[in-house]
Amino acid sequence: MASEAPALELRGITKKFGPVVANDGINFDLRPGEVHALLGENGAGKSTLMSILYGLYSPTEGEIRVNGELVEVESPSRAIELGIGMVHQHFMLVPVMTVTENIVLGEEPTRGALLDVREGARRVKELSDRYGLAVDPEAVIEQVSVGMQQRVEILKTLYRDARILILDEPTAVLTAQETKELFEVLGELKKDGVSIVFISHKLNEVLEISDRVTVLRRGKQIDTVPTEGATEQSLARLMVGRDVLLRVDKAQAKLGEPMLEVADLRVRDDRGLEAVKGVDLTVRGGEVVALAGVDGNGQLELVQAIAGVREPESGRIAVGGHDVSGAGVRGTNEAGLAHIPEDRHLYGLVLDFTLAENLALREYRSPPISNHGLLSPGNMNQRARVLLKEYDVRGGEPDTLASSLSGGNQQKVAVAREVASNPKLLIAHQPTRGLDVGAIEFVHGRLLRERDEGRGILLVSLEFEEVRALADRILVIYEGQIVGEFPPDASEEELGVAMTGGGRAAA
Amino acid sequence: MSATEEPEVRAATPASRLAAYVRGGGVIVPLLTVTLAFLAGGLVMLVTGKDPIATYEAIWKGTGLQWLFPWTTGADRVLAASNLQQTLIITTPLILTGLAVAFAFRAGLFNIGGNGQYIVGSIAAVWVGSSFADMPSFLHIVLAIIAACAAGAFWAGIAGFLKATTGAHEVISTIMLNWIAVWVGVWLFSLGGPLQNNAQKSIPVSEDVVEGAKLPVFWGDPVLQGLHIGLFIALFAVIVFWILLIRSTIGFEVRAVGFNPEAARYSGMNVGKNYILVMAVCGLFAGLAGAMDVLGWQFRIATNDIQIAYFGYIGIAVALLGRNTAVGTLAAALLFGALLSGTSQRNLDPTIFEPSLATNLTWIIQGLVILIVSADVLVLGMIARGRGLFRRRPRAAAPAAEGEP
């Protein structure tokens, strides 16, 4: 294998954006039929490197070779010509069109002047069968699952004869089951000699699927190692530059008073359908209760109802013993609830506000931040300075705009604001989504610290590892109902079965 | 946490886009916008066979702004003073209608209804100002102003209420309300209308504002339309605008809702209530503008005046050019006030440019400003090009990449 020319070779790639060096002399090669993982924290330079390879940026320095030949990739269409295909994290599909139409878009097979849909569908079917993609060429995109959409994106590149496939954080949007299916597909592609660049910051997946791993940190290539012999611990150290606490040690829970009591709660979603169908749950002080489930099973509506953002259909919610049904966000917050929402950009932060303003979003109406309706910028900044320090937010002063922080630091700001309100109950909805190892470690540590202070924590997460690492009890939600309660050492399989409705059928 | 702190991607609200624009372009882009508009205007003059330099010089003289320079003396100074009074009389309502658009914009709303709010404000002012002849002067003025503000606030509040309760888009509802205001006004003052002048039965005009309700003139001859104290009221409104928006908890909510209504809602703010409040404040500013004109120099409203009223619309250009900031709106209002008065038949030297055509020039420049401000990407793009000429730039469709500063 070593004698063969690499399918792809990047030599000394440097990319500068003004004074910022995003990539610093990076070497990367990809052997035929290999899965080579590119690992690094957010902002380490992974996406920049792949954007250069895909022709979205031109490198400041360095050269690219495909099958041993020196090439210049000046545009994505040139990249496609060279047999490079990219599956972006956010899919680029037309929702109202069929699978076939999406795949042939831009390269439609024609008969005379007419579109030959049948020929397109035939080729799509053929490719799908060959790699076990199980894609229905006639299905309309908006009606198929996320995992299926991703397979359509992969098909799009194969349809254009890609031999080098770049997958940008492909598992970020997938369920555990879909991830498993994706890995099977990647296995098929490998067998056929397709080379794959697998971008991720999930260590367990990298260990499972890749042959070699290249680790980037702060734009520099730290090392390239064979996956065999690597461990989560060793990769995490390369990635972050220090030892990382992957397993969180937690003390025995010291149960206190019930901080959240939900009884027979029913909530409708935006379409008017019942999304939460009679949920009962209790979170006591000093414990982390994790709500696990596949996305879209009513978690969002349940959390919104508890937080006072969404009016429930019926049922009772009490925070710290006070009935807050119908109290709205303010009433609920005053009763002692804090809420780290699932999407920090959409719900958690005002990105065009400064950090000081974001940190004041909960308390801007009371002294010392404001007096008689007039804000005190001095007090606002003073308080922000203290919080930014305490929560180790890097890269920002009180007057920095939230939008200029990295994702991890933005999340720290959201966490700081909520925890600083000294809540009885803290809801953390996917608190580590899209964060890198270092930031995850911080958020997890903070949540457990708050639990040990006697607060109740309701963790809503799609990640098995997170749930099992933090929870004292795991509740599984499926189709708007709690279908089972598990101890934190429940097996992934047990949970998986319950999350997909198996548990309820058995019960 | 890393050397290349990348900002993450997000969807942008209009207010958020504008904020990014202000940060990106600073004061340079509006100046560039104006320069481009003037250049294009000059080109139009050239094409139509006029001398642009002589025309702009005549317009400059027409604005009276040279009064500010000490070397303008003698008869020139007297004429300049009179012209500058005109300029500032027009600037006064433009500041206020500009604020009416700017405040909405900061909350993520587009208030096209400044004109209707201005009209209902002027109707209320003329009605109160022409009634209660025996009231003490100061109280009468205050009452007329309050009535105008309340009318404007109510009028705009309708659009806010519709948005908050039914989700009706404020652009549509404010445009509709503009026309309702126009035709209600025409009906009120047309022959036989409920508020038509009793003494002049054959003219479609309102009653005259009584002496006691007129705003005092502090510069120039009251009989020859000197400058009234409305200018100070408008300047005061600029300060109120700034304090309300930047320093008050109300403004904190307004800006939060403007940038990200979802995050505002999650923080416990009532987004719908905010929309109503914001629109009401906008209407208050625009209604005040109507009061300033009626109580300051018009003193009566003819149906004709209502149909050709346009200060509310210019407010849109003023706010856009002024970047919806307090100081920017003030400066842009002065620019448009000077343009309007400099090209007016009264102030422009007819031997250089036919005054009947001159006002068209103002419209052209105003149109160009709106066009260029709307095409913000164009101007910012030009600046960006200038910085990185001949350097390859990432495609517009490029996914958000790490490390981009």
Q: Would you list the DSSP string of A101-163? A: HHHHTTS--EETTEE-HHHHHHHHHHHHHHTT----TTSBGGGS-HHHHHHHHHHHHHHTT-S
Query: CA nearest B395 in A: which residue?
Result: A56
Grade residue B378 by pLDDT with cuts at 50, 70 and 90.
low
CATH superfamily of A8-240: P-loop containing nucleotide triphosphate hydrolases (3.40.50.300)
A20, A349, A404 ranked by CB distance to B263: nearest: A349
Please list every residue in chain A whose beta carbon sits closer than 8 Å to the beta carbon of residue B247.
Answer: 374-375, 377
Euclidean distance between the first and final Cα of chain B, in Å? 15
Tallying the residues shown for chain A, one arrives at 507
Query: CA nearest B388 in A: which residue?
Result: A18
Q: pLDDT value at position B375? A: 66
Grade residue B382 by pLDDT with cuts at 50, 70 and 90.
low
Query: By the CB < 8 Å criterion, does A147 face chain B?
Result: no
Grade residue B41 by pLDDT with cuts at 50, 70 and 90.
confident
**Low-confidence residues of chain A: pLDDT under 70:** 1-4, 244-248, 502-507
pLDDT surpasses 80 at B95:
yes
Contact yes or no for B4 and A20 at CB 8 A: yes
Residue A300 and residue A107: Cα distance in Å, rounded? Answer: 40
Shortest Cα–Cα distance, B382 to chain A (Å)? 18
Contact yes or no for A329 and B6 at CB 8 A: no
Q: pLDDT value at position A492? A: 78
Please list every residue in chain A whose beta carbon sits closer than 8 Å to the beta carbon of residue B403.
Answer: 15, 17, 20, 22-23, 43, 45, 47-48, 219
Of A252, A103, A91, residue with least CA distance to A172: A91
Q: pLDDT value at position B292? A: 97
Euclidean distance between the first and final Cα of chain A, in Å? 53
A328, A333, A345 ranked by CB distance to B10: nearest: A345
Q: pLDDT value at position B381? A: 60
Shortest Cα–Cα distance, B249 to chain A (Å)? 5
B1, B250, B262 ranked by CB distance to A346: nearest: B262
User: Of B21, B259, B265, B266, which to mutate for an interface test with A (greatest number of A Cβ within 10 Å)?
Assistant: B266
Domain edges within chain A: 8-240, 258-506
Report A:285-314 residues touching B (Cβ under 8 A). 307-309
Contact yes or no for A347 and B262 at CB 8 A: yes
Please list every residue in chain B whose beta carbon sits closer than 8 Å to the beta carbon of residue A352.
Answer: 15-16, 19-20, 259-260
Contact yes or no for B7 and A374 at CB 8 A: no
pLDDT surpasses 70 at B2:
no
Report A:334-353 residues touching B (Cβ under 8 A). 339, 341, 345-353
Q: HEC states along A345-395?
A: HHHHCCCCCEHHHHHCCCCCCCCCCEECCEECHHHHHHHHHHHHHHCCCCC
Query: By the CB < 8 Å criterion, does A333 face chain B?
Result: yes
Task: Sort strands A337-340 and A425-429 into parallel, antiparallel or unpaired.
Answer: parallel
Q: pLDDT value at position B1? A: 36
User: Of A16, A23, A351, A427, which to mutate for an interface test with B (greatest number of B Cβ within 10 Å)?
Assistant: A351
Q: Which fold has domain A258-506?
A: Rossmann fold (3.40.50)
Q: pLDDT value at position B238? A: 97
Better-predicted residue by pLDDT, B138 or A507: B138
Residue A55 and residue A425: Cα distance in Å, rounded? Answer: 48
Residue A503 and residue A422: Cα distance in Å, rounded? Answer: 37
pLDDT surpasses 70 at B3:
no
> Region B141-164: what's the mean pLDDT?
97
Q: Residue A18, exposed/middle/buried by CB under 10 A (0-12, 13-18, 19+)?
A: exposed
Contact yes or no for A56 and B399 at CB 8 A: yes
Amino acid, res. A96: V
User: Around B128, how many Cα atoms within 13 Å sit in the side-chain half-sphere?
Assistant: 26
DSSP lists the bridge partners of residue A8 as A30, A66
Contact yes or no for A58 and B252 at CB 8 A: no
What tens digit of pLDDT does each residue of A223-258 get?
Answer: 999 999 888 888 888 887 777 666 667 778 889 999
> Region B307-321: what's the mean pLDDT?
89
User: Around B222, how many Cα atoms within 13 Å sit in the side-chain half-sphere?
Assistant: 10
Report A:154-193 residues touching B (Cβ under 8 A). 168
C-alpha A100: how far from its chain's center? 28
Contact yes or no for A76 and B394 at CB 8 A: no
Contact yes or no for B398 and A350 at CB 8 A: no
Please list every residue in chain A whose beta carbon sits closer than 8 Å to the beta carbon of residue B5.
Answer: 43, 395, 404-406, 409
What tens digit of pLDDT does each residue of B335-352 get?
Answer: 999 988 888 877 777 777
H or E element at residue A485: strand A481-486
Residue B39 and residue B45: Cα distance in Å, rounded? Answer: 10
What tens digit of pLDDT does each residue of B256-308 get?
Answer: 999 999 999 999 999 999 999 999 999 999 999 999 999 999 999 999 999 98
Shortest Cα–Cα distance, B263 to chain A (Å)? 4
The torsion region of residue B398 among left (phi > 0), alpha (psi -120 to 50) and beta comes to beta
Contact yes or no for B4 and A88 at CB 8 A: no
**What's the whole-model pTM score?**
0.76
Contact yes or no for A374 and B249 at CB 8 A: yes
Query: By the CB < 8 Å criterion, does A56 face chain B?
Result: yes
Contact yes or no for B259 and A351 at CB 8 A: yes
pLDDT surpasses 70 at B398:
no
Shortest Cα–Cα distance, B269 to chain A (Å)? 8
Query: By the CB < 8 Å criterion, does A432 face chain B?
Result: no
Which are the contacts of A115, defined by CB distance < 8 A and separation ≥ 6?
A108, A109
Query: CA nearest A59 in B: which residue?
Result: B392
Please list every residue in chain B whose beta carbon sits closer than 8 Å to the beta carbon of residue A26.
Answer: none
Q: DSSP class of residue A197?
A: E
CATH 1.10.3470 fits B14-385, yes or no: yes
Shortest Cα–Cα distance, A505 to chain B (Å)? 36
Q: pLDDT value at position B12? A: 57
Inter-CA distances, A432 with A36, A49, A425, Å:
25, 24, 18
Shortest Cα–Cα distance, A112 to chain B (Å)? 31
Q: DSSP class of residue A298?
A: S
Contact yes or no for A374 and B248 at CB 8 A: yes
Contact yes or no for A409 and B5 at CB 8 A: yes
A17, A22, A347 ranked by CB distance to B263: nearest: A347
Residue A323 and residue A335: Cα distance in Å, rounded? Answer: 9
| B276, B109 contact by CB (below 8 A) | no
Mean pLDDT, chain B, whole residue set: 85
Query: By the CB < 8 Å criterion, does A219 face chain B?
Result: yes
Contact yes or no for B268 and A218 at CB 8 A: no
Grade residue B9 by pLDDT with cuts at 50, 70 and 90.
very low
Shortest Cα–Cα distance, B23 to chain A (Å)? 11
Domains A8-240 and A258-506 share a fold: yes
Place of tokens 């496609």: A80
Please list every residue in chain A whose beta carbon sits closer than 8 Å to the beta carbon of residue B242.
Answer: none
Contact yes or no for A218 and B2 at CB 8 A: yes
Please list every residue in chain A whose beta carbon sits closer than 8 Å to the beta carbon of residue B399.
Answer: 47, 51, 56, 88-90, 168
Please list every residue in chain A whose beta carbon sits closer than 8 Å to the beta carbon of residue B15.
Answer: 352
